[in-house]
Structures are given as structure tokens and as C-alpha cells.
Amino acid sequence: MMGCSLIERSSLVSSSKVFRTCSGNARQKQNRFLLPVKLVWVPSVQLRKVSPVMAAVSEDLMKSAPSQKEKAVKFKVRAAVTIRNKNKEDFKETLVKHFDAFTDMLGRNVVLELISNEQDPKTNGPKRSSEAVLKDWSKKANIKAERVYYTAEFTVDSSFGIPGAITVTNKHQQEFFLESITIEGFACGPLHFPCNSWVQSSRNHSGKRVFFSNQPYLPDQTPGGLRALRENELKDLRGNGRGVRKLSDRVYDFDVYNDLGNPDRGVDFARPTLGGDKIPYPRRCHTGRLPSETDMQAESRVEKPLPVYVPRDEQFEESKQNTFSAGRLRAVLHNLLPQLKASISAHNRDINSFGDIDDLYKEGLLLKLGLQQEAVKKLPKMVTKLQESSEGLLKYETPKVVSKDKFAWLRDDEFGRQALAGVNPVNIERLTSFPPVSKLDPEIYGPQESALKEEHIVGQLHGMTVQQALDENKLFMVDYHDIYLPFLDRINTLDGRKSYATRTIFFLTPTGSLKPIAIELSLPHTTPQSRAKRVVTPPVDATANWIWQLAKSHVCSNDAGVHQLVNHWLRTHACMEPFILAAHRQMSAMHPIFKLLDPHMRYTLEINALARQNLINADGVIENCFTPGRYCMEISAAAYRSSWRFDQENLPADLIRRGIAVPDPTQPHGLKLLIEDYPYAADGLLIWNALENWVRTYVNHYYPNSSLICSDRELQNWYHESVHVGHADLSNESWWPSLKTPDDLVSILTTLIWLASAQHAALNFGQYPYGGYVPNRPPLMRRLIPEENDPEYTNFLADPQKYFLLALPSLLQATKFMAVVDTLSTHSPDEEYLGERQHPSIWSADAEIIEAFYEFSAEIRRIEKEIEKRNANPNLKNRCGAGVLPYELLAPSSGPGVTCRGVPNSVSI
């Protein structure tokens, strides 16, 4: 077996190991009993190159297996079972664990039963082995290792066939995490059951848990003995749609976003339901909670620290939970003490100088906010003790954006560079006509014409006319006009929130960098005479310089909102959830497409549930930290209705839609980038191409023709439910891809894996490195730019720096935002990165697929080296230069922590 540490560490394997070939083709007819074949030695250094899969077998068990010519006789096989322990247990868990060890000696055991691939001709049900009990549970109860290995012994006869499933009954009081089971003793070699699931006590969940082997089967190719089990397991996962979900349940179902508000707290905390004809939105995981007391259409809230329901196996594993909890503690420390300080010393609410921000990285909040000893004495003892023990946690790491060049964020070239290589590089688009035109209804939002004129930009075009610049693909734009304008009336009436709807025009310079040449700032059109649009151009004097900096900050605030609410949350978190729910409901764990998608669905339901509880909810972090406030999620929903299209979520289609690339079959990826030094697109295409090749190899292996696609009821049900239930509000749109051919399936799967891995990584893990320095990307703005006839204009002229700082978030708002994006940018120690997966050599029993996976993994490593070379190339100005950050957000690997790199398999934070 390739790289199977489980068997190597198992006491079942003798010191002298032998290896043999194990049949692994799902489409081959299963023999009633497979004969032993010639045994060969395979050096361990060659394991990854062996094809088909090799497996370690104990010699004594091989000798016990009868030959086919003998009469049917009974013989013994053994199970090696891996249970993963918790690293930390509370007192109750420890007590129950010891009680379970005691009752295990009295016969309340963990019981296993093998299920054959073959039907029993007498009962027409599957053949079943005798039951077997895990040995030595009581003796190993005190083992502190992360993994504990148990054995069980079955008696079967030679007519049993090959096991395709195994049932587990937990007669203990407490759940346990079953990582894997390996069965030894059959002549085909060890059989592997990657489980990775919590097994509940039969006291709470009656019935036996079923786990299938790693042998993939399309539905119509399922062995007779497993068909009923396959169908029943899916029924269990779908549930009956009724009742409140228990945290131990494994039920996947859909619901609308009717739990973001809390009307029971008052009208200010009510929020509209997202999902349905009125406000279209993707569906989320159903929890079955009772309605709120004051609104029957709103689901009651579960507030932190109580957990929100997700199916048990979707919850964070311990190391992930510890990382997230540590981040939450950090957020509490950052929020609690500033709020206490605010009540003691009101004058510290605002950022009074850039030194105030710098001190957050040097002194920490305690010193910065001046929480002096006299004030500390007035605080509760618990808080003072917290304050005394947490000084280290209250210091922020210096964000990468200012770590090399403290003043880089002020420069126009850095402003343009971040549109291509920052945390939100997916909104830049080519300008095809000038001036740009709004698509909003002029009856409601006023004239569609822009205030931008040729005279605003012609002097910035290196001698070109505007038309020449358009024809030569030199003009680009970041346009937030249409998404913000419908909400500005409401946003600007909120306390301490001021916003424009912005458009920014860039010129592509001969060096390949983008130069901002004009910013249009729009306010709602109230009267025909109102001056609702304003154009700001690069400065020529001191006053114009500060106005230009304020205009760029408003653009960055728009950019931060669209990044978080649309590109990050909507496109990678919310829109993925329906596909994940439908996959669990409609595709068996033995389905090859489920096996392919499995690592790309890890933790997403849990992180989305936590977001509904703490981040995107009424009065949550997002509403507090971003300019749109209580209208944040309505902006997200407006984007879903107006611009989200699944067929344009893949990278090549998105680049073509934005005019950044044109089809070109002579290029390696079939595309020519019109901005050659576009780090996100250039590196992204490397990963996209590797993903697409891997998925095509995988799909073509199981679906050599279209008829298999069309006849696969689980696959078709998955896609139909994803679209017509999970995305029901847009299900009638004509742009949904069909699923009729292998090419259709390759495109759909590659898009989903791209969104879950590389797209999410590019949008997520730079949040603190770029946004942790708030002046670089202020998440909210508190002041508009003063006009000459405004009363504030005099104050602006007298102290423009003070005016600028007062327009930024307050110190409390800034620190809260920094704490949150610090947590969101953190990799956990158990992260799985692209090209990695649990049990890399046994997640599938198909040797060709295992070999193809290792080739894909090797390609991901080659891509990483290519990205390193690009980041060292001085000709690529957007990723290399004095004080310039290398673009590593799509570099596949990373260590734990905030690294500004790494592409996990899934949306996991």
C-alpha cells in the first residue's frame, strides 16, 4: 500500500511485509473470491510510482486464505481501526470516557460488521459477516496519543466475496471520531475504508453507521450487495425536513437567509429575508430552529458562544477550532479593552495622527489607549487580570503592505498595482468606450451619462488621444457606480457613514503598471439642478493632493465593501454552499465525483454558519466595520440578482467578460492577457490549467462517453438540486450550463474547485496583509470631500491631515476590523493545500486515478516554483521592485498563521 502509515504501525502486520496487486477497477466484474497472486518486494522509495495500488498484507493472514479449488471454509480476517483522540477534554468528557471504558468490559462495546459486495441469494439482501467487537478499548482508554489503534476479528467463509461496506455500532455513551478502517486477510490484499466521521452513541442515534470502501462506483455499477445501503444512506442524509436539528445530526437541507436579523431585540435589528422572489439569494444550510417571537418569517437566533447547527461531520476539527477560538479571543481582547477605555476617555475615539496607527504595532492597545493604572483600578478584577496577562496579544503584527515601504500606500502606482495584485484583483475591467454609461434606470437614479469628459484624462495619456488609448487597450476602469448608487441615500443617513458611488479610470503605462488618471464621485440625483457627480484628477498643488488622497480613500472603501460582500462572501462562500449541500444529499460517498469534490467542501458549511452568527448578521462585524452598515447584505443580494452568473465564474470566462483577455489558441492557456503583468490572472491561469487537466483526466476515466453522464441519476440529481433548489431564484436563467457531456462536467467541476480553492485564497488571505493598515484600505469612511462652499472647507484647508484622519474609521472601529481580518487571514495547522489530501494513496482504490493525482500534485509544486521565479523578475513591476510586495496569494503552499500565501483545498475560513 502506497504510504499507508496506518498499516505500517498496526500490530497486525508482521515485521516481514510482502506486497501484492489489489484489483481496483470499479467497472470490472467482482469475483466471488480472488486468488493470491505472486508476491513481490517493492522498495518503499518507489511506492508512489507503483501502479496499480500496492498494499501491505500480514503473511499469517495470507496463509489462512483458502484457494478457490477448496470447499467453502470459514477463515478469519482482521480490522485495524484508527480512532482519533481529542487533545483536550473537559471534565465531563473525561468522566464519560472512563465510564465507557468500564462498560466496555461489561459488553457495551463498539461493534463492527462486514457487508459483502454480493447479495445473499437466500435473503436477496447483502451478505453479512458475524459481528466483531473492538478489542482492548478499556485498556487503551488512558492513551494520550492523537491516534489510537484498535483491532477486531471477523469470521467469514470463502463464499463471502469482497467487503464493500462496514457497519459500526457505538454502544458507548460518548461519540468518537473514526478516521479509518483497514481489513486484512482477503486474498486481494488489504481493503481500505477512509471514514473521517463522528460515530454517535446508539443511545442518541439508533441504527448502524455505514461506511463504504474506497472503491468508487457509479450508481448503475454498484454491486448488488451495496445498492440498498447506498440508497438508504442518502435518505438518512436528506432527513425528513422536519424538526429542530441536534448538533449530533447528519442531515443536509436547504433554507433561506432568514436568520440574519433578530427582531426580538427591536426593529433596528430586523433584517429582510434573503432568498425568494423579493430578494434573490443562494440557499444556506437548514437548522430547523423555531421562529422568532415577533416575526414568524424570521428564524430565532442562536448567539455566541452557543453553536449554530451544521451536520456533525462539517464542524471544525479540534486544531482548526483551537485556531479559530484563539483568533476570537484576540478579537475579544481587541474589542473589550478599547470599549472600556472609550467609556473612560472619550477623546481617544478618533485617530489623531498616523502615529496612533503606528503605535498599534509597536506599543499595543494598552499603552496606545493610555489605560493608566488609576483607570485600571476602577475596572472589574476579571478585566484587570485579563489586561495584565494579555499585553502580548494586544499588539498587532505590522501588515506586509507597510512592512517594506511605510509610505507605499500613498503612491498612485501602488494604488494601481493593488487593482492587479492586491486582495481584490477581480474588478479591474477594460474600457471599451468613453465615457462609461450607467445601466441603472434613469427614471429613478437620474441621467445615465458620466461626468467624465475627455479633457479630464487626455493630458494623462502619454500623447495619445482618448480614441487611440481605447483602440490600443490602454484604458481600464474599476466601476462601483451602479452597485453603490441605489443604496447611497440610506447609507449616508447612517450615523458616521458617508460614501460615494465611484468610478476610477486607469491608464496602462509602457512599464505595464496602471496609473489612476481620474476618479468620478457620484451622489444620488435629487433634483435636476443638483451637483450629484464630481470628477477628481491627479493633483497639481497641495490642496488638490489632499482631495486626491480623500478620493482614493473613498474608492478603496467602495472596493473593500465590494470585495467583502460580493467577491469574497457571495461568490466563494454563499454560492458554493448549495453545491455542497446537494452533493451530500444526492451523491453517495462511493460516487467518484463525490470523492473528487470531498476535500474541496471541507469546513465550508461551518465557516458559513459562523459568519451568519457573528459576521454578516444584524449589528455584526461586517455591519459595524463597513460603510454600508445595515445595508451590507442587501448590497450582496443586489449583486447576486444583477451580475452573478455561474457560467462566468471560471477564470478564463471572467477575464474575457472583463475585457482583460481575448481568446488566442496560440497561447498556452488559449488566452492572451491584455495586461501582461497581471499577477492574479497570470498565476491564476497556471492553477486553472492544472485543475482543468486533473479534472478532465478524472472525468474521462469514469465517463468515457456522454451516455454515462446522462444516465447517472446521482450526478444529475446533484446538479439539478444545486441549481433548482440551492439557486432557485436564478434557476430559470438561460446561462446555466447543461450537464450532458464529459466536457460539460469538466467545466462545472473545475469551476467549483477553482472557486473553493484558488479564487477564495486570492480574495481571503491578503485581508490583514493589505487591510490591516487601515489608511491603505479603509473599510468605512465617515466624511465626504468638502466643496469650496461647504462650511467644513475652511477646517479642511487649516488642517488637511486631521480632516483626512477623521474621515477614516475611529480607532475603535479600526482595531475591531483589524482583529477580525487578522483572524480571517490565518491558516490553521490542519489546513490541506491544493495538491494535498488526507490518505493521499488510498482515498480511491483506483490505481490510475491515484497516479493521476500524484501527477497533479507534482504540477502544483512546479507552479509554485514558477511563481517564485516571476516574483524575482525585475521586469514585472507589479510584483518586483523596491518595497514592492511579491504576489504570493496564489502560491499553493503555506505554513500556519498569517502568511499572505497558500491555496487551501476549500473555503475553510
pLDDT in the model for residue 445: 92
Q: How confident is the model at residue 390 (pLDDT cuts 50, 70, 90)?
A: very low
Angle 295-298-300 from CA coordinates, rounded to 5° = 100
For residue 728, give the C-alpha cell: 432557485
Q: Which carries the bigger pLDDT value, residue 346 or residue 317?
A: 317
pLDDT in the model for residue 61: 47
Q: Which carries the bigger pLDDT value, residue 859 or residue 374?
A: 859
- Is the per-residue pLDDT at 55 higher than 60? no
For residue 346, give the C-alpha cell: 472619550
pLDDT in the model for residue 89: 76
Are the C-beta atoms of 801 and 862 separated by less than 8 Å? no
Are the C-beta atoms of 76 and 154 separated by less than 8 Å? yes
pLDDT in the model for residue 342: 52
Flag the least confident range among 142-146, 771-775, 797-801.
Answer: 142-146
- Is the per-residue pLDDT at 716 higher than 70? yes
Residue 285 φ/ψ, nearest 5 degrees: -70, 130
pLDDT in the model for residue 36: 36
Task: Render pLDDT for 428-485 as a digit per residue (tens, 0 to 9).
Answer: 999 999 999 999 999 999 899 999 999 999 999 999 999 999 999 999 999 999 999 9
Cα separation of 209 and 735, whole Å?
A: 40
Flag the least confident range among 91-100, 554-563, 696-705.
Answer: 91-100
Average pLDDT for 637-656: 98
Q: Which carries the bigger pLDDT value, residue 773 or residue 381?
A: 773
- Is the per-residue pLDDT at 281 higher than 50? yes
Please give the single-letter amino acid code of residue 883. G
- Is the per-residue pLDDT at 407 higher than 90? yes
DSSP state of 266: -
Q: Classify residue 881 as exposed, middle or buried by CB count within 10 Å of its CB (0-12, 13-18, 19+).
A: middle
Kindly list the catalytic residues: 568, 573, 760, 764, 909
- Is the per-residue pLDDT at 728 higher than 70? yes
> CB under 8 Å to 326, separation ≥6 — which residues?
none
Flag the least confident range among 383-392, 516-525, 662-671.
Answer: 383-392
For residue 361, the surrounding DSSP H or E stretch is helix 354-362
Flag the least confident range among 320-329, 622-631, 688-697.
Answer: 320-329
Q: Calculate the CA dihedral of residues 880, 882, 884, 885 and round it to 10 degrees.
A: 80
Flag the least confident range among 267-271, 333-337, 578-582, 855-859.
Answer: 333-337
Cα separation of 185 and 181, whole Å?
A: 13
The C-alpha cell 499469517 sits at: 60
Average pLDDT for 638-642: 98
pLDDT in the model for residue 363: 66
Average pLDDT for 395-413: 92
Q: How confident is the model at residue 328 (pLDDT cuts 50, 70, 90)?
A: low
DSSP state of 21: E
Please give the single-letter amino acid code of residue 96. V
- Is the per-residue pLDDT at 38 higher than 80? no
Average pLDDT for 268-280: 97
Q: How many CB atoms lie within 10 A of CB 871?
A: 18
- Is the per-residue pLDDT at 170 higher than 80? yes
Flag the least confident range among 342-346, 414-418, 442-446, 732-736.
Answer: 342-346
Cα separation of 401 and 104, whole Å?
A: 57
Q: How confident is the model at residue 503 (pLDDT cuts 50, 70, 90)?
A: very high
Are the C-beta atoms of 425 and 679 separated by less than 8 Å? yes
**Most confident residue range from 63-72, 236-245, 366-375, 752-761:** 752-761
pLDDT in the model for residue 70: 52
Q: Which carries the bigger pLDDT value, residue 53 or residue 875?
A: 875
pLDDT in the model for residue 118: 94
- Is the per-residue pLDDT at 621 higher than 60? yes
Query: What is the b/e burial string over 376-396, where b = at least 16 CB atoms within 10 angstroms of the residue's CB?
Result: eeebeeeeeebbeebeebbbb
Average pLDDT for 376-399: 55
pLDDT in the model for residue 618: 97
> CB under 8 Å to 385, separation ≥6 — which residues?
none
Number of H helices, E strands in the chain: 33, 20
- Is the per-residue pLDDT at 100 higher than 90? no
- CA dist list (Å): 126 to 110, 186, 223, 225: 21, 18, 10, 4
Q: Where are the beta strands (DSSP E) in 359-493?
A: 429-430, 475-479
Task: Render pLDDT for 65-96 as a digit per residue (tens, 0 to 9).
Answer: 444 445 678 999 999 999 998 877 777 878 88
Q: How confident is the model at residue 327 (pLDDT cuts 50, 70, 90)?
A: low
Q: How confident is the model at residue 23 (pLDDT cuts 50, 70, 90)?
A: very low
Q: How confident is the model at residue 367 (pLDDT cuts 50, 70, 90)?
A: very low
Query: What is the b/e burial string over 300-313, where b = at least 16 CB atoms within 10 angstroms of the residue's CB?
Result: bbbeeeeebbbbbb
- Is the per-residue pLDDT at 833 higher than 80? yes
Average pLDDT for 640-659: 98
pLDDT in the model for residue 482: 98
Q: Is 234 left (phi over 0), alpha (psi -120 to 50) or beta?
A: alpha
- Is the per-residue pLDDT at 31 higher than 60? no
pLDDT in the model for residue 94: 80
pTM above 0.85, yes or no: yes
Neighbouring C-alpha atoms within 13 Å toward the C-beta of 697? 15
- Is the per-residue pLDDT at 58 higher than 60? no
Q: How confident is the model at residue 296 (pLDDT cuts 50, 70, 90)?
A: very high
> CB under 8 Å to 665, separation ≥6 — which residues?
none
pLDDT in the model for residue 90: 75
- Is the per-residue pLDDT at 546 higher than 50? yes
Average pLDDT for 652-679: 95
Q: How confident is the model at residue 317 (pLDDT cuts 50, 70, 90)?
A: confident
Flag the least confident range among 46-55, 57-66, 545-554.
Answer: 46-55
pLDDT in the model for residue 526: 72
Average pLDDT for 670-685: 97
Cα separation of 111 and 328, whole Å?
A: 39
pLDDT in the model for residue 329: 54
Average pLDDT for 798-820: 91
Average pLDDT for 235-244: 92
Average pLDDT for 701-708: 98
- Is the per-residue pLDDT at 348 higher than 70? no
| Crossing angle for the helix pair 632-642 and 542-562, to the nearest 10 degrees | 70
Q: Which carries the bigger pLDDT value, residue 345 or residue 550?
A: 550
pLDDT in the model for residue 330: 61
For residue 312, give the C-alpha cell: 456533525
The C-alpha cell 439642478 sits at: 529
- Is the per-residue pLDDT at 14 higher than 60? no
pLDDT in the model for residue 101: 81
pLDDT in the model for residue 300: 96
Average pLDDT for 668-686: 96
Q: Classify residue 829 as exposed, middle or buried by CB count within 10 Å of its CB (0-12, 13-18, 19+).
A: exposed
Neighbouring C-alpha atoms within 13 Å toward the C-beta of 472? 14
Cα separation of 130 and 147, whole Å?
A: 27
The C-alpha cell 511579491 sits at: 886
Cα separation of 358 and 402, whole Å?
A: 10
Cα separation of 330 and 82, whole Å?
A: 34
Cα separation of 701 and 684, whole Å?
A: 26
Q: Where are the beta strands (DSSP E) in 697-741?
A: none
- CA dist list (Å): 555 to 402, 415, 455, 510: 19, 10, 21, 24
Q: Which carries the bigger pLDDT value, residue 63 or residue 689?
A: 689
Are the C-beta atoms of 49 and 126 separated by less than 8 Å? no
Residue 541 φ/ψ, nearest 5 degrees: -150, 180
Average pLDDT for 637-666: 97
Q: Classify residue 738 as exposed, middle or buried by CB count within 10 Å of its CB (0-12, 13-18, 19+).
A: exposed
Cα separation of 289 and 684, whole Å?
A: 41
pLDDT in the model for residue 386: 46
pLDDT in the model for residue 294: 95
How long is the chain? 909
- Is the per-residue pLDDT at 370 higher than 60? no
pLDDT in the model for residue 60: 46
Q: Which carries the bigger pLDDT value, residue 802 or residue 392?
A: 802
Q: What does the mean pLDDT of the chain come to? A: 87
The C-alpha cell 474609521 sits at: 809
Q: Where are the beta strands (DSSP E) in 296-444?
A: 429-430
Flag the least confident range among 143-157, 201-215, 515-529, 824-838.
Answer: 515-529
